[in-house]
Structure 1
């Protein structure tokens, strides 16, 4: 059952958080409530995705003093495609408004800014796990593990509410392994009920693969490399896509209804069309329609 727990932010502000009542809308980035943390904490290298090199903890030169991007409307034009596909799963606003009590990186000692940069990636990982766990609870076939999913979901949520120092020291990998056991079991249960269950292609190297019109119903593509693969018109209903690399994957006219553990960043990195059928929880990327 959901319950309220008192949390004290690093600013000493008491906050009441309801654990166990996650709204998936809160697991999407809200830049208006964030201090531009992804533009500071994350590193990137000059490539097809980024026009320049930037070290972790160093503010992007396009980040303005009001925490907004100075070229937001022209990111692709300016060579920052990587920024347009990224989503923090709501970690930015959690760290900004709750972990650090609404005080930005300029509101304290230099150590505060460094700590924010350390904490943000940790909470982002935890929020991604919350996305998968909340989805698992919507899958009827996974009902046999729902009690365990609820338990570890609450545990994961409580971890996101720890103090900045505790979060910076957290072993996210160890917790992710615990969550993954349940996600694997969820996948097995869901795919077992898929008509024409597909093959287990976990971690498969399918870079550039020609899979136009392929029947991939019920397949496991967990962690598969599908960079630049042609999945035009493919049937991906009931397919597990957790961790699949969909950069530049052509999903035009593909059917992803019922595909699970798929995230918005994965879709944003892919290519698609008005005919691509998506799960209800995800949004058609703007650059897909821009190609029409």
Structure 2
């Protein structure tokens, strides 16, 4: 069946390279051979444009032509790229292991987050085995002003930068506990800055409490990695969450150590090691 233009998968980008990558994402999602015609129907791209892009991907080894010379499949270079990503993604695997250990220790769902624009992005998450839980999968985004990790990211910013970011983000009320007054949020962020941890006390979802800390940036300066514990209020209070703080901080230190080990050493650092 031919897709209508409104149903077409968008292949967009500001540069030719970005559009090629967007097309490669469409192709990577396929589990069968495809033709120029079928891909054109799917994406809505003009045939001459699509033909040129496929030639570029074929020439780079990302795609290959099948025996009938009409069908395309993933090339050896693209397959090697996928294999290398899986084989060498040790940082994600190591972080996930720390997160799993934290869940086992505290008995509640835990996640790793980063600041992305004006939102908090879930990089990884491990769910508790408890029947009652809140499902927020990796890739989920939550508002910065009413999440525990978001408050920590805000607390690192100079006031002018924070005001500018929050000015572009509506302080929307998600629950009756959401801080929607800029002054009240500033006071909360100052308290977070002093304490080194933050709460989301039913501010984003009713019935959900969260406590978070930051993993230290191995290069010093600001961190863009938060680690959090989330639980229903019927199982966790603020007081009980604070009892989990030592375990949370140990997990944050372990993740910071993983990231530090994954950072390439500068030449001067290597020279110092060789001189010892």
Q: TM (normalized to structure 2)?
A: 0.24
Which protein has greater RCO, CA pairs closer than 8 Å, 6+ apart?
2
More strand per residue: 1 or 2? 2
Report the structure number with the largest CA radius of gyration.
2
Q: TM (normalized to structure 1)?
A: 0.23
